[in-house]
Every structure is written in C-alpha cells, then in structure tokens.
Amino acid sequence: MVDVGISGDEAAELRAYGGESGGARVARRRAALIDAALDMLAEPEPGPVTVRGICGRAGLTPRYFYESFENADALVGEAYDQVIAQIADHALAGFNAGADARGKVVGAVEAIVETIESDPRTGRVLFSDTLRSPVVAAKRSQMLEIFTDLTYQSAPAVARVSGGQETLAAAHFQVGGLGRLLASWTEGLVDLDRRALVDICVRMLLPESRAVDSSTARLS
C-alpha cells in the first residue's frame, strides 16, 4: 500500500459531505476568506488585516484559514491579485474589441469603470491612499506595470509620440492620470456618473478628442 501522506483528519475533511466534495468545501472557504479580506481592505479607514479579524468576518476558525494561506500577508496578496486580474482581463477584452485607437481606449476605460462600479471594493483596494500595507504597495507597482504595458500599445496613436522612450513616458503619464482620477471618483471626491466619467477619461487620454471639443465650443 502506498503512503500518500494524508492524515486521517485530512482524509475525512476531503470526503464528500452533504453532497459537497471536500475540494469544493476548501474552495468555498478560501473564497470566503478572500471576500472577507476585500471587505477589510476596502473599509474607509482600514486597519491591519489579521488572521483573527479575517476569520471573524468570514465566520471560520483559524484552522480553515491555514488550510489555504500561510499568513495574512499571503491572503492580502491573493485578494489583490484577483482584483488586478479581474480589472486587467476586462480592460484587455475592451481594448481588443476596439476597431481603432479611439475604440480601444473607450473599450478599456468603459470596462475598468464598469468593473469598479459593479464592486466598489475593487476601486478602493486598487486606488485608495489609505492602504499602507507593504504587500499592497508591491502589488500596486505590478498593477501599474500591467496597465502601462497595455497603454503602451495605443500611446503612439493617441498621444502622437515617436515611439521608444517617448511612448513609454506617455504610457506612464496616461496610466498615472487615469489612476488618480479613478481614485478620486472611488473616494467620492469627483461626483460624476459612469457615462460622464468614461467621457472625461477618454477626452483626457485622446488629444484629438480635446481638440474637437474645443473647436465645437468655439463654433457654438
């Protein structure tokens, strides 16, 4: 008989119970812990994210926490990764659906704003200045790289730059400005509905849009 290294308790835990497999129960508890972490991170004045606090909010014991995560930082990192992946996937799909540079920018911005509006926690976790976690700081740097890489593809067309380092600089500028505006909107400092927010983002990202708006204003 082969010893697979699973204890009696672990084997019992993985057995089906009430029609739900052991693996499904582990996945459900993991999702509940991530959801609890997002709740804590998205609070107006977030405090430290602790194992005890997360377990209390999720209604689970530490035993179930440690079946999925080594510590609270690991959970915070996973929660942030999920938010980044969700935003990035939607933004990339919107970007790729566009037929031209403008369509790509509009599609990406609409997807980002829609995702944030559907779950405001995502916007607060991504952009809020109140989060001081070193884990979050590192993850935000990764997020900026992801969105800069995405914006880099459209920067030559929308920012009228020559390529190379100019394109990279334009991409960083666009991502920084967009992130700051979305942060202000998420925090209630900018009072715009979704349509108006998308419109102003696109106008700021596309120089030709601003030129058209100015010409229209002069003629009116």
Q: What is the pLDDT of residues 96-112, one digit of tens each?
A: 898 887 888 899 899 99
Crossing angle, helix 120-127 and helix 22-41, to 10 degrees?
60
Domain at 159, CATH number? 1.10.357.10
Residue 157 CB neighbours (<10 A): 15
In a domain, 2, yes or no: no
Please check whether residue 83 is in contact with residue 126, taking contact to mean a CB–CB distance below 8 angstroms. Answer: yes
Per-residue model confidence as pLDDT tens digits over 166-186: 777 877 788 888 888 988 898
Q: Which residue has the higher pLDDT, 151 or 83?
A: 83
Please check whether residue 98 is in contact with residue 107, taking contact to mean a CB–CB distance below 8 angstroms. Answer: yes
Same structural domain for residues 34 and 112? Answer: no
Q: Is 41 exposed, middle or buried (0-12, 13-18, 19+ CB in 10 A)?
A: buried
Same structural domain for residues 50 and 143? Answer: no
Please check whether residue 147 is in contact with residue 91, taking contact to mean a CB–CB distance below 8 angstroms. Answer: yes
Terminal alpha carbon distance of the chain: 86
Q: Which residue has the higher pLDDT, 111 or 9?
A: 111
Q: How many domains does the chain have?
A: 2
> What pLDDT sits at residue 68?
93
Per-residue model confidence as pLDDT tens digits over 24-83: 889 999 999 999 999 998 887 777 889 999 999 999 999 999 999 999 999 999 998 898
Specify the range with the lowest mean pLDDT, choosing from 10-14, 32-36, 166-170, 194-198: 10-14
